[in-house]
Copies of this chain bind each other. A is one copy, B any other.
Amino acid sequence: MRQSKLLLSTLREAPAEAETMSHQLLLRAGFIRQLAAGIYTYLPLGRRVLHKIENIVREEMDVTGAQEVLMPSMQPAELWKESERYDQYGKELMKLQDRHERDFVLGPTHEEIVTALVRNEISSYRRLPLTVYQIQTKFRDERRPRSGLLRGREFLMKDAYSFDTGSEGLNQSYWTMFNAYHRVFSRCAIQFRAVHADSGTIGGEGGSHEFMALTDIGEDTIAACSTCDYAANLEQAEVRIENAKLNQEVNVQAIEKFHTPGIRTINQLVHTLDIMPEQIIKTLIYQGDGKLLAVLVRGDHEVNEIKVRKHIGATEISLADHESVQDVAGVESGFVGPIGLEITILVDTAVAEMTLGIAGAGELDYHVRNVVPGRDFPLTSVGDFRNVTEGEACPHCEEGTLKFHQGIEIGHVFKLGTRYSKKLGATYLDTTGRNQHMIMGCYGIGISRMLAAIVEQNYDEHGIVWPAAVAPYQVHILLMSGKDNDQVELAEALYKQLNQLGIETLLDERDERPGVKFKDSSLIGIPLTIVVGKDASDGQVEIIERRTNVKASIGIAEAIARIKAQAQPTSL
């Protein structure tokens, strides 16, 4: 492609509202343009990268045996009422009426459509398992669209749906897709982790992983092992439980009450007493499904309410209100302690391992020291009730420690079970001739979001640094002077030769100063740059690797050999 013909304008500055780097750089480098809040046009460079990603996704889906279909964006509201999501989904569901005032939604996802389709097409176990997928535009009316392609209202997704006859089959479909996602993201050179996600309220048979691109931005915190594959959302990350290190010494130091007027927080205690937060036992009163309980964690730890909720088998928990705390602990929060509490006490393992601790005294303006777990309060319910902290040992391997990352969700695999097949009546006849509900899974990849995530992981102070597998072009030839015949001839010859080799090449033959060409080239981020300048008369060019900025002056034959070795073949 000749750059003088390309629909491409680079911008010096990104608009003020573009906060994330991918948003800024994709705008500045001319890959996308905003049409309305959260709604973007992909310019030629952006469209090329999308195609690259689509092709990789399509190849890996096909390898799994998933079959490509194309379902409509306009979906009859009736199906969403059957699944009971029409009202549940809330304002993010784009709704419209046709000329006959029939209600439709613009699909944010296709569970209803695909379930209704398969319900009509398949009636026997012999035709299962089945996985179908599509690459298609989705709509979601975000309350606050932001971060460019990361949270848009019209976006490109790959969504897949599996249908099985049993949970074993579902497992197999699920892990097949899980592995395909690994390959997709690896091929796109994304740094990612699959994190076990809480199936939340949708699941049934449950089980779900989010694929998170690790970046400096993102709405989720992920704890990932420095050594092994382990990664989880902070709320899900497990604490490593060492073998019984519980205090075995007989401790004779007696509890000692001391005056702490107005000292209510861990921070205040630490500063006033000049101690470490690890020495403090925090006592929090919760209510779970209306029942009160206490949770003890160390002063440097945070209660993980999901873990507590699951442990007690409650559907919801929250901190107890002021009156309940007063009732059960005899004092307001800030001075609540574990001693003498007559409710269930959940003791985090880290507390159970303490020899001596400082805690609230259960009396206004007083704390106690020399508190001994097991002696001064019962250790009948010891467990993992807290968030992990950065630097802790990995719960799954021997060497690693947990590091925290921000993450962008780029994929999601999900065991749906029979949620949709039951609502929509998708059944099959089993080997004994009985009607059974199909067991489903759903699997999404945010194609346009991947584009942004790749940029978030691949840029420097000069612009984007595309991984070769998804770069819009493999080689960027910069012709320094369009008035120098030697340069023009060499650049044109090289451009022609690379095209013949099937290597995607962008030729900057614009009537611009070298400085402008270099700046634009760095901003656009094509992996290899060939500068055709004053040494053209000697058949010499400069080759620059965008990622490392390593430069070399080499002959034209050597340049072509290096390009052939490094560039990806055309896949558009």
Which residues between 32 and 50 of chain A lie within 8 Å of chain B, taking CB atoms?
A: 33, 35-36, 39-44, 46-48, 50
Given A94-B96, A113-B35, A117-B33; A73-B5 close (CB under 8 Å): no
Contact of A69 among B42, B117, B137, B511 (CB under 8 A): B42
B137 contacts A73, C-beta separation under 8 Å: yes
A389 to chain B, nearest CB (A): 39
Q: Which residues of B contact A102 (CB under 8 A)?
A: 36
Q: Which residues of B contact A511 (CB under 8 A)?
A: 126
Is A198 in the interface zone, CB < 8 Å from B? no
Q: Which residues of B contact A43 (CB under 8 A)?
A: 69, 121
Bound: A511/B141 CA distance, A? 47
* Closest chain B residue to A163, Cβ basis: B7
A333 to chain B, nearest CB (A): 39
Is A70 in the interface zone, CB < 8 Å from B? yes
Is A143 in the interface zone, CB < 8 Å from B? yes
A114 to chain B, nearest CB (A): 9
Which residues between 106 and 138 of chain A lie within 8 Å of chain B, taking CB atoms?
A: 106, 113, 116-118, 120-122, 126-127, 130, 132, 134, 137
A35 contacts B69, C-beta separation under 8 Å: no
Q: Which residues of B contact A121 (CB under 8 A)?
A: 7, 9, 33, 43
Q: How many copies does the complex hold?
A: 2
Q: Which residues of B contact A5 (CB under 8 A)?
A: 65, 67, 130
Q: Which residues of B contact A143 (CB under 8 A)?
A: 99
Is A74 in the interface zone, CB < 8 Å from B? yes
Given A76-B35, A94-B98, A95-B96; A113-B7 close (CB under 8 Å): no
B153 contacts A98, C-beta separation under 8 Å: yes
Is A6 in the interface zone, CB < 8 Å from B? yes
Bound: A41/B74 CA distance, A? 11
Is A83 in the interface zone, CB < 8 Å from B? no
Q: Which residues of B contact A127 (CB under 8 A)?
A: 4
* Closest chain B residue to A67, Cβ basis: B44
Is A75 in the interface zone, CB < 8 Å from B? yes
Bound: A85/B102 CA distance, A? 24
Q: Which residues of B contact A73 (CB under 8 A)?
A: 73, 137, 139, 154
A120 contacts B33, C-beta separation under 8 Å: yes
B65 contacts A35, C-beta separation under 8 Å: no
A132 to chain B, nearest CB (A): 6
Q: Which residues of B contact A74 (CB under 8 A)?
A: 35-36, 39, 139, 153-154
Is A486 in the interface zone, CB < 8 Å from B? no
Which residues between 128 and 164 of chain A lie within 8 Å of chain B, taking CB atoms?
A: 130, 132, 134, 137, 139, 141, 143, 153-154
A72 contacts B40, C-beta separation under 8 Å: yes
Bound: A1/B66 CA distance, A? 11
A186 to chain B, nearest CB (A): 23
Q: Which residues of B contact A126 (CB under 8 A)?
A: 4, 511
Bound: A43/B71 CA distance, A? 8
Is A363 in the interface zone, CB < 8 Å from B? no
Contact of A47 among B7, B36, B70, B139 (CB under 8 A): B70
**5 closest residue pairs by CB, A with B:** A96-B96, A42-B70, A44-B67, A91-B99, A39-B72
Given contacts A35-B71, A46-B70, 15 further A-B pairs with CB under 8 A are A5-B65, A35-B113, A35-B116, A36-B74, A36-B76, A40-B72, A41-B70, A44-B132, A51-B68, A73-B139, A74-B139, A74-B153, A94-B98, A98-B141, A126-B511
